[in-house]
Amino acid sequence: MAKRTTIKDVAREAGVSVTTASYVLNKNPKARISAETAERVRKVAERMHYVPRSSARTMIKRESKLIGVIIPQTGSRSRLMFANPFYGEFLSAAEYAIREQGYHVLLSGTGPNQDYSQVAQMRELDGIIILGTYPCDFLDEIKETGIPAVLVDAYVDDHYFHTVGNNDRYGGYIATKHLIEKGHKKIAFVSEKLREKGVHEQRFQGYCDALKEAGLPLLEEHLYTCDVSYESCYRLAADYANKNSGETAAFVTADIMAMGFINGLTAQGWSIPDDLSVIGFDDVPLATMCLPSITTVRQDITAKGMIAAETVIEAVKGIPKKDTILPLHVVERDSVKPIL
């Protein structure tokens, strides 16, 4: 694990006292320090990637009792994705489990050109939970901080990170197979734009697996893309209704999207499941409150949040790398109709 740079390290490298380094880096206006010395200290600090601590207590105890949770900002929007009930359920479970262990949560999103690693060090986070798929350079920056981290729903093969997730490829397979077993042969696939090693990409691979197993072709005209949001999939439904490629069923890769898709089609005069069967993914509580209620692939989101919390706190205490895979199964409700 990488050693965090301290103000003592900067002072030693710059050939000054800790007090002098502190005056320079904390911009003490009363300090009488030559411009040459101040510039040398600042350059050393920059080269050593020094980030000031947020409080004296964290410098002394080397712990903040803070766990960072990073929630993705996906699609075309810059806000956190709390319109998707998946994130609210996950965070509620994780926050409770973290608080029960005497820690607190620092919640953050990520956007372009944001360096979360500096935030993590400045706030002296004890551990980090990262939900979703992120670029390799982002994860490399997290590794450089030396802070224990748990990846949730990310297909990353790296010994540094603990992981919690599902077999999303299997989830996509059982969703599609369920529709095939109900007699459907023309099946739409509705998801966000696929990203390498993302959960939706894995669910697409499962969709392909089920089609291949059943001897059904993979057709480009059956693939649809929108943001992971109710509104985006609601709008997509109008285009889908106008296109009408002859599918009798659709696998929609998140329940929040399936709700938008179903209501959007209903607004176009379609009847679900009479005109189109729909299966979702997640089994969020709202899936039972829709008309019709949504047949879906259930993942235990509460368990996922609690296990991620337990794992990150165990990681703070020094456990070896730990990987957890949670089970998936189809929950049958009213949005899928068999073809006789």
Q: How far apart are CA 172 and CA 116, in angstroms?
A: 32
Task: Look at residue 60 in the predicted model and tell me its pLDDT.
Answer: 41
In 77-220, the DSSP E strands lie at: 104-108, 127-131, 149-152, 162-166, 187-191
Report CA-CA distances (Å) from 324 to 53, 71, 151, 303, 304: 33, 19, 10, 11, 9
Q: 237-274, pLDDT tens digit by residue?
A: 999 999 888 999 999 999 999 999 999 999 999 999 99
Tell how strand 187-191 and strand 162-166 pair up: unpaired
Torsion angle, alpha carbons of 210, 154, 76, 253, to 10: 30
- Give 64-166+301-326's CATH code, choosing from 2.60.40.1220, 3.30.70.1450, 3.40.50.2300, 2.30.110.10: 3.40.50.2300
The segment with the largest mean pLDDT, out of 17-21, 107-111, 139-143, 236-240, is 236-240
More confident residue, 23 or 193: 193
Lowest average pLDDT, out of 122-131, 293-302, 303-312, 327-336, goes to 122-131
More confident residue, 25 or 162: 162
Instruction: At 160, give phi and psi (nearest 5°).
Output: -70, -35
More confident residue, 122 or 146: 146
Output the CA angle 223-109-118, nearest 5 degrees: 130
Task: Look at residue 62 in the predicted model and tell me its pLDDT.
Answer: 58
Q: Is 149 helix (H, G, I), strand (E, B) or coil?
A: strand
Using pLDDT thresholds of 50, 70 and 90, give the confidence band for residue 81.
low
Enumerate the CATH 1.10.260.40 domain ranges in the chain, comma separated: 7-50
Task: Look at residue 3 in the predicted model and tell me its pLDDT.
Answer: 65
Instruction: Answer yes or no: are the C-beta atoms of 182 and 336 closer than 8 Å.
Output: yes
- Give 7-50's CATH code, choosing from 1.10.260.40, 3.30.230.10, 3.40.50.300, 3.20.20.110: 1.10.260.40
Handedness of CA 256, 258, 261, 267 (dihedral sign): negative
Q: Which of 30, 264, 304 is nearest to 163 (CA)?
A: 304
If you average pLDDT over residues 293-311, what whole number do you get? 98
Q: 21-66, pLDDT tens digit by residue?
A: 888 887 766 677 888 999 999 999 989 888 776 544 344 445 789 9
Neighbours of 219 (CB within 10 A): 14
Task: Look at residue 172 in the predicted model and tell me its pLDDT.
Answer: 98
What superfamily does domain 168-299 belong to in CATH? Response regulator (3.40.50.2300)
Q: 321-333, pLDDT tens digit by residue?
A: 999 999 999 999 9
pLDDT at 103 over 80: yes
The two counts, helices (H) then strands (E), for the chain are 12, 12
Enumerate the CATH 3.40.50.2300 domain ranges in the chain, comma separated: 64-166+301-326, 168-299
Task: Look at residue 121 in the predicted model and tell me its pLDDT.
Answer: 67
